Chain A
Amino acid sequence: MLMVDNLVKTFNSGRRGRAKKADGAQGGRVLAVNDISFRVKEGELFTLLGPSGCGKTTTLRSVAGLESPDRGSISVGGNVLFADDQRINVPANRRKLGMVFQSYAIWPHMTVYKNVSFPLEVASRKERLPKQEMKERVAQVLEVTQLAHLADRPATNLSGGQQQRLAFARALVGRPALMLLDEPLSNLDAKLRESMRYELKRLQRELGLTSVYVTHDQTEALALSNTVAVMCDGKIVQVGRPREIYERPNCHFVADFIGTSNFVSGTVGESRHGEYRVETQMGPIWVSSSIDLAVDSNVLLSIRPEHVSLSRESQPDETNQLLGKVTNRAFLGDSVDHILDARGLSIRNRSNPKISIEPGAEIYFSVPVDKIVVIPLDS
């Protein structure tokens, strides 16, 4: 559906104007998007996830046509929208995409109805719908987004959630092939954000929209997306289903950015049936790895706190059982966190609130072999 290939976009570094004169001579340009390629399938919600400044918004704005990339190509449903080698750059207003902005960009001088009908009114003469049909289309979209009763209100008299839905309705009304969403939930408070998240997912599924969604909120990305692409420093570092990204991060950055993790470095020792013994500061740990690990190579183990299980007694047939000491404990309502000291390494555990062990106690803890993510360090 959407194909983005080898996209590159640079910006002048620093502020415009005077700064430009000062370091322009050195060609101070910053790579915002550095050779990115990805595919979005029909009907899919594809998320670009990353910290601020990683280039995710620039990528989205390039697809929208609001930024002109330096190199690469972008096509939607077989139509080339941008290709530097063919000198194609379709202007934003001819791309027929829908976009929801972070600030919603609701036009304050129009009513709710006018905001939604605007895209239909400005369509070129031969594509413009007859008046009656226009009305029906707007009414239908307002119905879907539950704004029908507010149609005649000035757009400034809406709550945050309503403004968000209005922005969505406006993007929807032209029946775009592709919907672009730039952090659409980040201006809402926490409770509303959660309910709007389900609302968005419902609309997306019911209308069969193909969407590209930009966010820095990993929970949002995992909950909403069919596919997540994690970005860092202008590059996509991992693409996959949300579960894959969470359970099998392919690098330190992804493991660290998504959820919380314990990181333990070690050296690969003997191997047995595709499992490897890794020597770490807190003792030997058995891990499984889909890729071959060389003996004596350095690896980083990522262990999720919820995969660390505690027991007061030693379990004789448990692999990866280690001894530690509880140094701290925090009750979080739906779970309890323990911080363990294992030979000088600090390990975080997350348990069911039924388990609670007082600080100072010696404790056995173990991690299932298949739950440990191995990230090779030498390559």
Chain B
Amino acid sequence: MMQRARDAVISMQGSGRRRLPMLPSAQTMITGGVVVIIGYLALVPLFYLLWGTFFDEAGLTLGAFGRAYSDHGIGTLFSNSLRFAGGAALLSLVVGTGLAYLNVRTDVPFKALFFAASMIPLVIPGILYTIAWIFLASAEIGLLNKLVEPVIGTQPFNVFSIWGMIWVEGLHLSPIVFLLMVAAFRSMDPSLEESALMSGAGKLTVFRRITVPLVRPAVVASILIMVVRSIESFEVPALLGLQDGIYVFTSRIYYTLRSYPPDFGAAGALAITLLAIAVVGVFVSQRLGSRGKSFQTVTGKGFRPRPMALGKWRPVAGAGIMLYFLVTVIAPLTVLLYTSLLRFYATPSLAVFKTMTLNNYVEVFHMDSALRALRNSFVLGIGAATIVMLLTAVAAWIVVRSKVRGRGIVDQLAFTPLVIPGIVLGLALSFVYLRFPVPVYGTLLILLIAYITRYMPYGMRYASTSMHQISSELEESAQVCAASWWQSFRRVVVPLLTPGLVGGWIYIMVVSFRELSSSILLYSPGNEVLSILIWEQYENGQFTELAALGVLMVLALVVMVVVAYRLGAKVGLRSE
């Protein structure tokens, strides 16, 4: 019976080949096409980045590096980048790890707040978060300064400083560390600590000699990831640092391109250095991550950790949590909402409250640029999410299911953009398409290409995780029933992948919706997206309209995330 079925399949394939002697099969065309597209997206920008940096009219040259690094500010650039990235990573690590420990291992109150706070980086884009902190803590208009000035006599906060940059970036990253460390604490067998207790060790000894060494790999990996993320961050250094000339790599690249005449070569030289730092960071953190796995004792049992009683420290911890929630969530959102209701930006007073109005919202809906930006953001989000998931569904099949030699390379290619900082990708793409014969530069298409490239790794992760969960027998049985590759892919594989594909689709939709660091180098007038419009309005000092637009943007993101949860998609902040 089996033998006959197999014979049937073989003869089917045989006859198929006879019938179409010259044309390659649908399988070859589709998988081949996907590989070519992924390879193009991953490699071409990098190639042009190198080419544009190292070649000019005269041929191979290191002139660009010379121009970029001969500037006497370059020492400060390095030290600023290091201080900014290190400081933000450290702040996020201390806050995030502390919160994760309290949440997983103790009976701290308000546990529901933790996860609400952890959604912040997803629903408040970096640009809005930074602007909110400008409203809160800048020297001239900062609300916090106005609040404490009568008490202590001076204005203590200045967000336009390296400390301000570290503070805002560190807070924005802390929920990501929180989620990473929650996973680390949860995957730890609590009996490892209990057995130390049974050995006679006190709570402090257990913490110092068991808990800390066990989570150390996770801590080191997260600090590296946070350093890379902050060094790649654009919004915070650009908005807070450029004003007083505190440059880091990303803001320097932007500055180099915005000065006249723009020096693409020098920007490329900076971008290549930044890329190299990111590659090293990601590589080392992944190595540490895999080493950390050997620490996990496999028991195949769900852990039910007994939360440690905090006793008299419980109210203190509770107050700390409330403070954290207030500072990271309530304060920035409130100040945005407050500003969006004003006619002119002003510090709160009775007179100001009387003039509050919804005018800004009405205006936003009558502003051509706002409606166009909203439409562009939606079109790009939907387009990028759809294309990425289609590409990665096929790519995941190639990597996980096919027996093609070199399929691992497809995986590597799809993950390559993960290490490319957004602003570097933007620069690389402008290198490519400024020279391109077909007009892509200056259209929405270049933004679409940028988003697809940036978020391909995320799509790949969603798709290949779900692909691993589908037994290959399901597909094989379709083939035994004489279905062609395309039929079994479309009617068996894709439907089974759907939950993962939908999860990835929404995630990419959400992150595209708030993309700024690639778009800033690629947009052209008329093709603004929401985050760009907010950027422009900030530069023009239109704070109140900006705040209204920002509130609407946050609402839209909240709706998307809620819908994602309702659909049961695993949308979370994925670590890089």
Contacts and interface: CB of A to CB of B under 8 A. Distances in A.
Interface of A: 17-18, 64-67, 91-99, 101-109, 118-119, 122-124, 156, 167, 170-171, 174, 187
A98 B198 contact: yes
B201 A105 contact: no
Interface stretch (B8-16, B187-195, B247-255, B381-389): B187-195
A109 B195 contact: no
A124 B306 CA distance: 25
B500 to A, nearest CB: 26
Residue with the highest number of chain B CB atoms closer than 10 Å, among A18, A91, A99, A105: A105
B202 interface: yes
A107 B209 CA distance: 10
A122 B194 contact: no
Contacts of B201: 93, 118-119, 122
Interface stretch (B295-303, B350-358, B400-408, B436-444): B295-303
B569 interface: no
Contacts of B194: 64, 66, 92, 99, 101, 105
Contact of A109 (B199, B213, B299, B306): B213
24 contacts: A18-B112, A64-B194, A66-B194, A66-B198, A92-B197, A93-B197, A93-B203, A93-B206, A97-B198, A99-B195, A99-B198, A101-B195, A103-B191, A105-B297, A107-B196, A107-B210, A107-B214, A108-B294, A108-B297, A109-B295, A118-B199, A118-B201, A119-B201, A171-B198
A307 B59 CA distance: 98
B199 A67 contact: no
Given A103-B297, A122-B205, 20 more contacts: A17-B112, A66-B194, A67-B306, A91-B197, A97-B198, A99-B194, A99-B195, A99-B198, A103-B299, A105-B191, A107-B210, A107-B214, A108-B295, A108-B296, A122-B199, A122-B200, A122-B209, A124-B200, A156-B294, A174-B199
B213 A101 contact: no
Nearest to A110: B213
B287 interface: no
Nearest to B217: A109
Contacts of B296: 108
Contacts of A98: 198
Contact of A93 (B111, B199, B213): B199
B198 A64 contact: yes
Contact of A122 (B189, B202, B213): B202
B200 A94 contact: yes
Nearest to B304: A16
Contacts of B203: 93
| A-B pairs, 10 with minimum CB distance | A119-B199, A122-B201, A105-B191, A105-B195, A103-B299, A101-B191, A99-B198, A92-B197, A109-B213, A108-B295
Interface residues of B, number: 28
Contacts of A93: 197-203, 206
Residue with the highest number of chain A CB atoms closer than 10 Å, among B197, B214, B295, B296: B197
A205 B83 CA distance: 63
Contacts of B192: 105, 107
A174 B196 CA distance: 12
Given A103-B301, A187-B299, A109 B200 contact: no
A118 B294 CA distance: 21
Residue with the highest number of chain A CB atoms closer than 10 Å, among B111, B201, B306: B201
Given A17-B111, A187-B299, A109 B198 contact: no
Contacts of A97: 198
Contacts of B199: 93, 118-119, 122, 170, 174
A164 to B, nearest CB: 13
Contacts of B196: 107, 118, 122
Nearest to A123: B200
A167 B194 CA distance: 13
A315 B295 CA distance: 67
Contacts of A108: 214, 294-297
Nearest to B307: A16
A171 B297 CA distance: 19
A94 B189 CA distance: 22
Interface of B: 111-112, 189, 191-192, 194-203, 205-206, 209-210, 213-214, 294-297, 299, 301, 306
A271 to B, nearest CB: 53
Contacts of A106: 297
A96 B214 CA distance: 24
Contacts of A156: 294-295, 297
B172 to A, nearest CB: 26
Contacts of B189: 103, 105
A180 to B, nearest CB: 8
Nearest to B296: A108
Nearest to A67: B306
Contact of B197 (A66, A67, A123): A66
A103 B195 CA distance: 10
A119 B202 CA distance: 11
Nearest to B190: A105
Contacts of B198: 64, 66, 92-93, 95, 97-99, 171
A74 B203 CA distance: 22
Contacts of A123: 200
A96 B200 contact: yes
Contacts of B297: 103-106, 108, 156
Contacts of B210: 107
A65 B294 CA distance: 30
Contacts of A109: 213-214, 295
A69 to B, nearest CB: 13
B327 to A, nearest CB: 24
Nearest to A91: B197
A134 to B, nearest CB: 13
Contacts of A124: 200
Contacts of B195: 99, 101, 105, 107, 167, 170
Nearest to B107: A16
A53 to B, nearest CB: 13
Nearest to A173: B199
A107 B206 CA distance: 11
A187 B470 CA distance: 28
Residue with the highest number of chain B CB atoms closer than 10 Å, among A65, A98, A104, A174: A104
A219 to B, nearest CB: 22
Residue with the highest number of chain A CB atoms closer than 10 Å, among B112, B192, B203, B295: B192
A211 to B, nearest CB: 14
A132 to B, nearest CB: 20
Nearest to B301: A103
A64 B199 CA distance: 11
Nearest to B309: A68
Nearest to A114: B209
A133 B195 CA distance: 23
Contacts of B200: 93-94, 96, 119, 122-124, 174
B565 to A, nearest CB: 14
A164 B299 CA distance: 13
Residue with the highest number of chain B CB atoms closer than 10 Å, among A17, A65, A92, A96: A92
A228 B276 CA distance: 66
Nearest to A119: B199
Nearest to A99: B198
A93 B193 CA distance: 11
A92 B201 CA distance: 9
B74 to A, nearest CB: 42
Contacts of A96: 200
Nearest to A176: B198
Nearest to A17: B111
A105 B298 CA distance: 10
Contacts of A67: 306
A354 to B, nearest CB: 41
A171 B200 CA distance: 11
Nearest to A122: B201
Contacts of B301: 102-103
A124 B196 CA distance: 14
Contacts of B206: 93
B104 to A, nearest CB: 11
